[in-house]
Structure 1
């Protein structure tokens, strides 16, 4: 199983943000907890199951073993990860 962090550079509230996603929800929640992200920060909206992470937390996630993926260079992998996150988000909402 794998945890992924994209290279999203969304600027919001003075920070650049990325998305933390994983092959399973359990793995996603466990990894987020390792980063000190509270469970209430979990998002499962239309963009899929993920946590938003600052650029600084993105680097820490990579250090802890998350796989960095690029929306520009890893398009096929990125589509698969996002599709999986959307399915997970729908499951979590039940």
Structure 2
């Protein structure tokens, strides 16, 4: 299922939400392609989508959920990708 959370993350003069799949990345990419979500909006396990796209994506079938529910279902699906924390730099 495709999920979308409320746009609350400020950037570039607007706010963004997240578009994910709780089934597969293939499902997520297919939904994004069919709804003209640019590939550059993909970030490891989700698409960042601006508020102006929220209603259109919900109308196209994305299920609105809260932020915590979105993350919970993404983790449960096994698709969650955590950011790697770089190792501390060594002193010369």
Please indicate the TM-score interval, normalised by the length of the shorter structure.
0.7 to 0.9
Alignment of 1:1-94 (within 5 A): 2-22=1-21, 23-44=23-44, 49-71=45-67, 75=68, 77-83=69-75, 84=77, 85-86=79-80, 89=81
Number of positions where the alignment pairs a residue of Structure 1 with one of Structure 2 = 79
Considering fraction of residues, name the structure with more helix: 1
- Runs of 4+ aligned residues of structure 1 deviating over 4 Å after TM superposition are none
- The normalised TM-score by structure 1 is 0.72
Change (3 A) 1:8 1:38: closer
The alpha-carbon deviation at position 56 of structure 1 amounts to 1.5
SS in 2 for 1:53: strand
Change (3 A) 1:79 1:36: closer
d(CA) in 2 for partners of 1:65, 1:18: 15
- The normalised TM-score by structure 2 is 0.74
The alpha-carbon deviation at position 12 of structure 1 amounts to 0.6
The alpha-carbon deviation at position 55 of structure 1 amounts to 0.9
Bigger-Rg structure (1/2): 2
